[in-house]
Amino acid sequence: MKLRGEGGSSRLQRQYIFNVPPLAGEYSGGSEVAKNMDVFPQNLLVAFVLSLLYVSGRAYRLDILKRNSEPNEGNVRLSGSESPSEGRVEIYHDGIWGTVCDDNWDMAEAQVVCRQLNFPGAKSVVIGKDYGKASGPIWLDEIACTGKEKQLVSCQFSGWGKTDCTHKEDAGVICESRNDVTLSGSTHSLDHSIGLSGDLGQIFDSGTACDFLITFQTPNGNKKDDGTEEMIETTICAHKAILMLYPYFSASAGANNITVTVSRPCQSYFTSFIRYLYTRKTEISYSSAMCLHQLASDFGINQLMEDIGRLFSNILPDDASFHSQVSLYKYAVESKDLVLEENCVQYMAWNFQNLTSSPVWPELPVELLRSLLTRSDLVVADEYFLLQTLEDWITNNGSSLSSEKQTDLLRLVRFPMIPAEKLYELETKSLLFSAHRDLYRDSVLKAYQFNVLLYSNLTQLKLVKENNDYKPRIYTGETWSIAINPLAKSSSSQSRNRYENYGYRDSYGRYGGYYPNPTASPNKQLSTPLHNSLLFKNNMITWEANILKTQNDCSWRGLRCESFPAARLALQNQYQSTSGVLFRNRLLLTCQSKYVCQIQGFKGDLAYVNTNDTQVLAYPCPDDKYTYTFVVRPEYV
């Protein structure tokens, strides 16, 4: 069996430590291979390793003997309650304890948590209870368990740190205590697995009683006389008891050896990769990440592959040319890492306008462009800008792009979202109108229907719910958005507006009297049409946008904020016919005026900003220096 690894780019500096509940042990051998295989009776070694695997189980709470120890990846605990069987559910990931959002939180999830903590089972779920202030990120959201999993991390969830929740929505449980069940037939588990990972690492390092040879070949760049590549061979002696857990090695099929091919850049990391299979721990640097990710993909180690994939989000903002982002996207598609692929596409969707002015834009892969055009979180000035940009790209790539592929891309433009005044210009100003006349005319007709028909008529024609053509993306043009930079200095007129907005008057009714707000927060007003449709062009509504930095800022407005900073986008004049319109507004955070690093939805009038200290960021931002862009997004409902 031969598996071919792939090389990759390297980046330096940071290192990350993965600490996953261990499975088994390993060794990097050499000339001592044959000797070591005879040192220790194999049957005793196998029995010892299997006994380690048996007692390791998972991470259980030990109530009769408490000791301070380093938690393992995926451990859970209950916090905020005097009872050891009740509390807020917290999970350990990437060296930090975090919480779980209560979206979809039910008895199946509670049963998994309670059994993982070695309680007999769960009594009930707890939602909305105040267990005190939670620190750290919200690690899990939209979690779905069957109830049979041994660990909460084995359940399905949307991804580490991917959430729109606040700590007010932290999930809790009440577990059955041992006093709640009869003692007859009850069991008590002891968990001494804290040192197991290190023990298994020592077994690998020593090579004691190893019984499975792994030969990895690396091309040295030279050719043999027959034209084939010369290979450098290195042998590692490992243990069947460990490798039988990984089907790709076929260690349980009676074989005693395997030869694999590893690319030259990844040669130095292969031993570390095999050691990880024993210890479930490894150190990741930017220089090793691509190789370890590729090896994990080749050998089916999905958890390692996905966790390394998430680390790439830290480097995506570093390259303004977008060469790295596109290269990582291609690599993710090739390695079939859906997590990494989504991470790359999302970053480029959020920073689409930067992408269109980058050196890679003219030769952007058509599959990547198509993925971007399907997204509703694509950030653009407006849909007309998107059409013009796409037409330019198609025109430049026309010789290599079939008419069918051009049509496929153009159909992803949301013509009903194009401002009505721009629709009239398409026939004379569009670069591709004559080449795709039927498509443009059909699309423009659909856009006109959207602009002149009432919602009830559109519903009867089944136009609105047909597809996404009638739903806005994230439009940052002046019609639908306004930006606030908290670090910018306010003018005197802006300061006066602060008082006016808050409504502070003296006894004579003058603004700016004797009761100014001591913590006046940055704010602006924005006027938008009620809806994208031309029917509502003159039906203007007013919004107030605020950045709230303290609880005092919230209290002045009668609000209770869960965390800071927070953003508020509040409708000031409720138009009488808004009942058929739903506003799915968004808050964009642009880091240091360079790239969009975070997008948040509003719940009611408020959106909470994730910071580097307390939450998981989609993409990191040094010093939390943001520009806040408030985007209004009306939809028919």
Interatomic CA distance for residues 367 and 345, integer angstroms: 11
What per-residue confidence (pLDDT) applies to 329?
A: 94
The DSSP code for 347 is: H
Write the CB contacts of 75 (distance below 8 Å, at least 6 apart in sequence). Answer: 59, 91, 92
- Region of 320 on the Ramachandran plot (φ > 0 left; ψ -120 to 50 alpha; else beta): alpha
171-205 pLDDT, tens digit each: 999 998 766 554 455 555 566 777 888 899 999 99
Closest among 526, 476, 522, 487 to 627, alpha carbons compared? 487
**Do 205 and 27 contact (CB within 8 A), yes or no?**
yes
231-280 pLDDT, tens digit each: 999 999 999 999 999 988 888 767 899 999 998 889 999 999 999 999 99
Phi, psi of 231 (to 5 degrees): -120, 140
Rg (alpha carbons) of the chain, rounded to whole number: 29
Identify the band that residue 576 occupies on the pLDDT scale cut at 50, 70 and 90.
low
**Residue type at 607?**
A
Burial class (CB in 10 A: 0-12, 13-18, 19+), 54: exposed
b/e map 163-173, b = 16+ CB within 10 Å: bbbbbebbbbb
Provide the percentage of residues in the chain whose pLDDT is more than 70: 78
**Do 286 and 11 contact (CB within 8 A), yes or no?**
yes
The DSSP code for 182 is: -
Query: Does residue 615 register a pLDDT over 70?
Result: no
The per-residue pLDDT of the chain, averaged, comes to 81
The DSSP code for 489 is: P
What per-residue confidence (pLDDT) applies to 423?
A: 93
* Mean pLDDT along residues 443-460: 78
**Do 85 and 177 contact (CB within 8 A), yes or no?**
yes
**Do 234 and 226 contact (CB within 8 A), yes or no?**
no
Which residue did the predictor score with more confidence, 581 or 351? Answer: 351
The DSSP code for 324 is: H
Interaxial angle between packed helices 403-410 and 366-373, expressed in degrees from 0 to 180 and rounded to the nearest 10: 20
What per-residue confidence (pLDDT) applies to 179?
A: 65
Closest among 446, 377, 451 to 415, alpha carbons compared? 446
Closest among 288, 298, 221 to 6, alpha carbons compared? 298
Which residue did the predictor score with more confidence, 368 or 176? Answer: 368
Q: SS3 for 119-145, per residue?
A: CCCEEEEEECCCCCCCCCCEEECCCEC
* Mean pLDDT along residues 50-76: 51
What per-residue confidence (pLDDT) applies to 458?
A: 59
* Mean pLDDT along residues 563-580: 80
Q: Strands 586-591 and 634-636: what pairing?
A: unpaired
Identify the band that residue 36 occupies on the pLDDT scale cut at 50, 70 and 90.
very low
